[in-house]
Amino acid sequence: MKETLKICVATNNEHKMGELRNIFKGYNIELCSLKDLNIKADPEENGETYAENAFIKANEVAKFTSLPVLSDDSGIKIDAIGGLPGVHSHRFAEAFGGQEKTNNFLVKNYPNSKAHFTAHFVLLNLTPNSRNDFEGIMNGHIANSVYGNGGFGYDPIFVPEGYECTVASLSAEEKNKISHRYKASKAMLDYLIKEKYL
Ligand code: IMP
Protein backbone atom coordinates (compact mmCIF):
# COMPACT_ATOMS: atom_id res chain seq x y z
CA MET A 1 0.00 0.00 0.00
CA LYS A 2 1.17 3.55 -0.79
CA GLU A 3 2.28 5.82 2.04
CA THR A 4 -0.22 8.47 3.14
CA LEU A 5 0.50 11.74 1.32
CA LYS A 6 1.00 14.38 4.02
CA ILE A 7 0.31 17.98 2.97
CA CYS A 8 0.60 21.17 5.01
CA VAL A 9 -2.27 23.60 4.37
CA ALA A 10 -1.11 27.22 4.51
CA THR A 11 -4.16 28.80 6.11
CA ASN A 12 -5.22 30.20 9.46
CA ASN A 13 -8.86 30.14 8.30
CA GLU A 14 -10.64 27.37 10.22
CA HIS A 15 -13.59 27.38 7.80
CA LYS A 16 -11.41 26.70 4.78
CA MET A 17 -9.50 24.05 6.69
CA GLY A 18 -12.74 22.33 7.73
CA GLU A 19 -14.08 22.32 4.18
CA LEU A 20 -10.81 20.97 2.79
CA ARG A 21 -10.72 18.20 5.39
CA ASN A 22 -14.26 17.18 4.40
CA ILE A 23 -13.56 17.29 0.67
CA PHE A 24 -10.33 15.23 0.97
CA LYS A 25 -11.88 12.66 3.34
CA GLY A 26 -11.65 9.14 1.95
CA TYR A 27 -8.38 9.74 0.07
CA ASN A 28 -5.00 8.58 1.27
CA ILE A 29 -4.04 12.16 2.19
CA GLU A 30 -3.41 13.72 5.58
CA LEU A 31 -3.97 17.48 5.68
CA CYS A 32 -1.97 19.19 8.43
CA SER A 33 -2.92 22.69 9.51
CA LEU A 34 -0.43 25.38 10.54
CA LYS A 35 -1.68 24.82 14.08
CA ASP A 36 -0.99 21.05 13.87
CA LEU A 37 2.59 21.79 12.78
CA ASN A 38 3.03 24.72 15.16
CA ILE A 39 3.90 27.06 12.29
CA LYS A 40 3.25 30.74 12.88
CA ALA A 41 3.02 32.52 9.55
CA ASP A 42 0.77 35.34 8.43
CA PRO A 43 2.35 36.78 5.27
CA GLU A 44 1.02 39.97 3.73
CA GLU A 45 -1.19 39.05 0.77
CA ASN A 46 -0.26 41.96 -1.47
CA GLY A 47 -0.57 40.20 -4.82
CA GLU A 48 -2.94 41.34 -7.54
CA THR A 49 -4.34 37.95 -8.45
CA TYR A 50 -5.57 34.90 -6.56
CA ALA A 51 -2.60 32.98 -8.01
CA GLU A 52 -0.08 35.53 -6.75
CA ASN A 53 -1.55 35.57 -3.25
CA ALA A 54 -1.78 31.78 -3.08
CA PHE A 55 1.89 31.58 -4.04
CA ILE A 56 2.91 34.22 -1.44
CA LYS A 57 1.21 32.21 1.32
CA ALA A 58 2.52 28.80 0.22
CA ASN A 59 6.04 30.09 -0.34
CA GLU A 60 6.22 31.67 3.12
CA VAL A 61 4.97 28.52 4.85
CA ALA A 62 7.32 26.28 2.82
CA LYS A 63 10.21 27.94 4.68
CA PHE A 64 9.03 26.18 7.86
CA THR A 65 8.27 22.63 6.65
CA SER A 66 9.64 19.95 4.38
CA LEU A 67 6.10 18.76 3.55
CA PRO A 68 4.39 19.78 0.31
CA VAL A 69 2.41 22.98 1.00
CA LEU A 70 -1.09 23.73 -0.28
CA SER A 71 -2.49 27.24 -0.27
CA ASP A 72 -6.04 28.33 -1.21
CA ASP A 73 -6.64 31.96 -2.14
CA SER A 74 -10.26 32.70 -2.80
CA GLY A 75 -12.86 35.42 -3.13
CA ILE A 76 -16.00 36.63 -4.85
CA LYS A 77 -16.32 38.84 -7.93
CA ILE A 78 -19.55 40.80 -8.33
CA ASP A 79 -20.31 41.91 -11.90
CA ALA A 80 -22.31 45.01 -10.88
CA ILE A 81 -19.22 46.49 -9.23
CA GLY A 82 -16.77 45.59 -11.95
CA GLY A 83 -15.61 42.35 -10.37
CA LEU A 84 -14.97 43.73 -6.90
CA PRO A 85 -14.11 42.71 -4.23
CA GLY A 86 -12.37 39.75 -5.91
CA VAL A 87 -8.87 39.24 -4.63
CA HIS A 88 -9.60 41.81 -1.88
CA SER A 89 -12.66 39.94 -0.52
CA HIS A 90 -11.24 39.51 2.97
CA ARG A 91 -9.91 43.08 3.32
CA PHE A 92 -13.06 44.56 1.72
CA ALA A 93 -15.26 43.13 4.48
CA GLU A 94 -12.82 44.26 7.16
CA ALA A 95 -12.66 47.79 5.74
CA PHE A 96 -16.44 47.88 5.55
CA GLY A 97 -16.89 47.23 9.26
CA GLY A 98 -17.26 43.45 9.19
CA GLN A 99 -18.83 40.68 7.12
CA GLU A 100 -22.39 41.25 8.33
CA LYS A 101 -22.42 44.93 7.37
CA THR A 102 -20.81 44.12 4.03
CA ASN A 103 -23.35 41.41 3.22
CA ASN A 104 -26.26 43.73 4.14
CA PHE A 105 -24.85 46.46 1.92
CA LEU A 106 -24.36 44.12 -1.05
CA VAL A 107 -27.87 42.62 -1.03
CA LYS A 108 -29.40 46.09 -0.70
CA ASN A 109 -27.44 47.61 -3.55
CA TYR A 110 -26.68 44.78 -5.96
CA PRO A 111 -29.45 42.15 -5.68
CA ASN A 112 -29.50 39.69 -8.62
CA SER A 113 -26.10 40.82 -9.91
CA LYS A 114 -24.15 37.94 -11.39
CA ALA A 115 -21.28 36.88 -9.12
CA HIS A 116 -18.50 34.29 -9.12
CA PHE A 117 -16.55 32.58 -6.37
CA THR A 118 -13.02 31.46 -7.26
CA ALA A 119 -10.59 29.27 -5.34
CA HIS A 120 -7.04 29.19 -6.62
CA PHE A 121 -4.74 26.50 -5.20
CA VAL A 122 -0.97 26.55 -5.30
CA LEU A 123 0.67 23.27 -4.32
CA LEU A 124 4.41 23.64 -3.69
CA ASN A 125 7.09 20.97 -3.29
CA LEU A 126 5.17 17.87 -4.27
CA THR A 127 8.60 17.12 -5.71
CA PRO A 128 11.45 19.42 -4.62
CA ASN A 129 10.85 22.98 -5.91
CA SER A 130 7.78 22.05 -7.94
CA ARG A 131 4.69 24.23 -8.27
CA ASN A 132 1.23 23.08 -9.40
CA ASP A 133 -1.83 25.34 -9.75
CA PHE A 134 -5.49 24.30 -9.67
CA GLU A 135 -8.57 26.50 -9.89
CA GLY A 136 -12.31 26.14 -9.31
CA ILE A 137 -15.15 28.59 -10.02
CA MET A 138 -18.75 28.61 -8.76
CA ASN A 139 -21.08 30.92 -10.70
CA GLY A 140 -24.27 32.41 -9.31
CA HIS A 141 -25.89 35.69 -8.27
CA ILE A 142 -26.34 37.97 -5.28
CA ALA A 143 -29.49 37.22 -3.24
CA ASN A 144 -32.19 39.77 -2.35
CA SER A 145 -31.58 39.35 1.37
CA VAL A 146 -29.05 37.81 3.74
CA TYR A 147 -30.03 34.33 4.97
CA GLY A 148 -28.76 30.87 5.99
CA ASN A 149 -26.62 29.79 8.92
CA GLY A 150 -24.02 27.58 7.29
CA GLY A 151 -20.70 28.32 5.61
CA PHE A 152 -18.84 31.57 6.16
CA GLY A 153 -17.97 34.91 4.57
CA TYR A 154 -20.18 35.76 1.61
CA ASP A 155 -22.13 32.44 1.68
CA PRO A 156 -25.34 34.05 3.11
CA ILE A 157 -25.68 36.33 0.05
CA PHE A 158 -24.65 34.02 -2.81
CA VAL A 159 -27.15 31.89 -4.76
CA PRO A 160 -25.36 29.28 -6.91
CA GLU A 161 -26.48 28.67 -10.49
CA GLY A 162 -29.29 26.10 -10.55
CA TYR A 163 -30.27 26.79 -6.92
CA GLU A 164 -32.88 29.02 -5.35
CA CYS A 165 -31.25 29.57 -1.97
CA THR A 166 -27.96 30.89 -0.65
CA VAL A 167 -24.92 28.69 -0.08
CA ALA A 168 -25.33 29.36 3.64
CA SER A 169 -28.72 27.58 3.49
CA LEU A 170 -27.16 24.40 2.08
CA SER A 171 -25.72 21.64 4.24
CA ALA A 172 -21.92 21.47 4.44
CA GLU A 173 -22.05 18.28 2.33
CA GLU A 174 -24.08 20.02 -0.39
CA LYS A 175 -21.75 23.03 -0.49
CA ASN A 176 -18.76 20.71 -0.74
CA LYS A 177 -20.23 19.04 -3.85
CA ILE A 178 -20.58 22.26 -5.87
CA SER A 179 -18.23 24.88 -4.47
CA HIS A 180 -15.24 26.60 -6.05
CA ARG A 181 -13.11 24.93 -3.35
CA TYR A 182 -14.50 21.51 -4.26
CA LYS A 183 -13.77 22.09 -7.96
CA ALA A 184 -10.17 23.15 -7.30
CA SER A 185 -9.76 20.15 -4.97
CA LYS A 186 -11.18 17.79 -7.60
CA ALA A 187 -8.68 19.11 -10.18
CA MET A 188 -5.88 18.54 -7.67
CA LEU A 189 -7.09 15.02 -6.78
CA ASP A 190 -7.39 14.09 -10.48
CA TYR A 191 -3.78 15.26 -10.96
CA LEU A 192 -2.51 13.33 -7.92
CA ILE A 193 -4.27 10.18 -9.16
CA LYS A 194 -2.96 10.63 -12.72
CA GLU A 195 0.59 11.06 -11.40
CA LYS A 196 0.16 8.03 -9.12
CA TYR A 197 0.60 9.86 -5.82
CA LEU A 198 -2.73 8.30 -4.77
P1 IMP B 1 -8.31 34.75 1.62
O2 IMP B 1 -8.33 33.67 0.59
O3 IMP B 1 -7.83 34.26 2.94
O4 IMP B 1 -7.65 35.98 1.12
O5 IMP B 1 -9.80 35.19 1.96
C6 IMP B 1 -10.80 34.95 1.11
C7 IMP B 1 -12.06 35.66 1.55
O8 IMP B 1 -13.02 35.41 0.52
C9 IMP B 1 -12.65 35.06 2.83
O10 IMP B 1 -12.29 35.77 3.96
C11 IMP B 1 -14.14 35.15 2.56
O12 IMP B 1 -14.61 36.43 2.88
C13 IMP B 1 -14.24 35.00 1.05
N14 IMP B 1 -14.47 33.59 0.70
C15 IMP B 1 -13.60 32.70 0.18
N16 IMP B 1 -14.17 31.49 0.02
C17 IMP B 1 -15.42 31.63 0.47
C18 IMP B 1 -16.50 30.70 0.59
O19 IMP B 1 -16.41 29.50 0.28
N20 IMP B 1 -17.64 31.22 1.07
C21 IMP B 1 -17.79 32.53 1.43
N22 IMP B 1 -16.80 33.41 1.38
C23 IMP B 1 -15.62 32.97 0.90
Which domains occur in the chain, in start order?
5-194 (3.90.950.10)
At 121-165, the pLDDT tens digits run 999 999 999 999 999 999 999 999 999 999 999 999 999 999 999
How does residue 1 score in pLDDT terms, banded at 50, 70 and 90? Answer: confident
Beta bridge partners of 78: 84, 115
| Among protein residues, the one whose CA lies closest to atom 23 of ligand 1 | 153
| Ligand 1 site, CB within 6 A | 13, 45, 73-75, 89-90, 93, 117, 151-155, 179, 181
For ligand 1, mutation pick of 154, 155, 159, 174 (most atoms within 8 Å of CB): 154
Looking at the CA of residue 45, tell me the nearest atom of ligand 1. 4
- Whether the CB-CB separation of 119 and 135 falls below 8 Å is answered with yes
Question: Which burial class, exposed, middle or buried, applies to 79 when counting CB atoms under 10 A from its CB (0-12, 13-18, 19+)?
Answer: middle
How many angstroms is it from 75 CA to the middle of ligand 1? 5
| 36 labelled catalytic | no
Q: Are strands 5-9 and 158-160 parallel, antiparallel or unpaired?
A: unpaired
- pTM of the shown model: 0.97
Check if the beta carbon of residue 136 is closer than 8 Å to that of residue 177. no
Are 166 and 154 contacting, i.e. CB atoms less than 8 angstroms apart?
Answer: no
Closest C-alpha among 50, 21, 24, 9 to residue 136: 50
Three-state secondary structure of 66-79: CCCEEEEEEEEEEH
Give the pLDDT confidence of 33-91 residue by residue, as tens digits.
999 999 999 899 999 999 999 999 999 999 999 999 999 999 999 999 999 999 999 99
Q: Give the pairing type, strands 131-142 and 158-160.
A: antiparallel
pLDDT at 2 over 90: no
Q: Is 9 helix (H, G, I), strand (E, B) or coil?
A: strand
